[in-house]
A and B are shown apart, each in its own frame.
Chain A
Amino acid sequence: MTDDGASAFALVDKIINRYGGERGTLIQILLDVQKENRWLSGESLEHIAERLHVPLPRVYEIATFYKAFSLTERGRHLVTVCLGTACHVRGAPTLLDRISRKLGVKSGGTSSDGRFTLLTVNCMGCCALGPVIAIDESYFSNPSNSDFDRILGQYK
């Protein structure tokens, strides 16, 4: 758990202070905490609500609305498989299957070593490369099983 203990709240507090504790910066704060911790824990949401004097339901409304936020713990890296129309007809479902078996998780799940969380999206805007996957901010076109092993090895 990234959010246990004083140190994790210290991070949240630092982010809140950066924005001067302004109510109107709630989304920005959530984005920054999401970025640093890779997810939003219930405790951190409660802490943010308290510090900004925003009712907890208002915080959850935002945190559950945007796809950028995750309320479950995520791995250190995001593996995103595109299931958009173009990638779909170019074999994305089988690719997803392979990757999901490699990582030992279904879409939305996190590998047991905490390294990867597997997600799907609908179109990444580079359909010509399809079927395409992304690991964090790098894109890979239709990786074979051995490509994939090699690529994964680069992420700790």
Chain B
Amino acid sequence: MNSITLTIDGKSVEARSGETILDAARSLGIDVPTLCHHKDLLPHGSCRLCLVELKQGARSQLVASCGYYVKNGLTVETDSPRVQRARKLVLEILFASLHENTDIQRYARRYGVSRSRYKRSLEYCVLCGLCVRYCQEVKKADCIGFVGRGVHREVAWIPLSRYDDTCKKCMDCQAICPTGVFPSNWGMASPAVES
């Protein structure tokens, strides 16, 4: 009853309701690149690396496959020219701050991105939200959150004392951070909230 049929890259695939296009594509062995996606966490849709093209007759749109749930009769292209163009741009942007991340390097190679128009910097944070969501959904500790918006957006301990009383003993989200430095980069963030 719950089975849904859709077409991905010309192949018909069965999926369960509640699965995302990304899940369905991966079940076919298609390697859709992702950054902010994590199997234990709810979709966030912030990195746009997983974009795929949804075809509806003559119309088509790009959607984030990690957060788009399967529907009967969807026609999806995971590597069309339009997807490739969009993904290249996203990779170029990410590559500027994540050129030492092995996954990003691998995808960059695949899409022929070897340098970025954007200024290279090893920022500690690309705002993927993995640490925040991990702490919230898996660890259930709620030590950190995003503060601010736009270029001022950053991850902060709320309140600041959470770092000392909880994170120091945990450090779990360090493995999940694509830049690998959070939360051990104590002092790099300028925490917005004093306790």
Contact = CB atoms under 8 A, between A and B. Distances in A.
Interface of A: 42, 55-58, 60-61, 64-65
Contact of A64 (B132, B144, B147, B159): B147
B142 A60 contact: no
Contact of B142 (A42, A55, A64, A65): A55
A61 B149 CA distance: 9
Interface string B114-154: 00000000000000000010001000001111111100000
Contact of B159 (A56, A58, A61, A65): A56
B146 A61 contact: yes
A61 B147 contact: yes
A42 B158 CA distance: 11
B171 interface: no
A61 B145 contact: yes
Contacts of A57: 132, 136, 142-145, 158
A58 B137 CA distance: 13
B149 A56 contact: no
Contacts of B142: 55-58
A58 B156 CA distance: 12
A76 B143 CA distance: 34
Contacts of B149: 64-65
Given A55-B145, A57-B143, 15 more contacts: A42-B193, A55-B136, A55-B142, A56-B142, A56-B145, A56-B158, A57-B136, A57-B142, A57-B145, A58-B142, A58-B145, A60-B158, A60-B192, A60-B193, A65-B148
Given A42-B193, A55-B142, A60 B136 contact: no
10 contacts: A42-B193, A55-B136, A56-B158, A57-B145, A60-B147, A60-B158, A61-B146, A64-B147, A64-B192, A65-B149
B82 to A, nearest CB: 32
Nearest to A54: B142
Contacts of B193: 42, 60
Contacts of A58: 142, 145
A61 B146 CA distance: 5
Nearest to B136: A55
A128 B144 CA distance: 45
Nearest to A42: B193
Nearest to B142: A55
Interface centre among A61, A64, A65 (most CB of B within 10 A): A64
A57 B142 CA distance: 7
B16 to A, nearest CB: 29
B83 to A, nearest CB: 31
A55 to B, nearest CB: 4
A64 B44 CA distance: 19
Contacts of B136: 55, 57
A55 B143 CA distance: 9
A125 B48 CA distance: 33
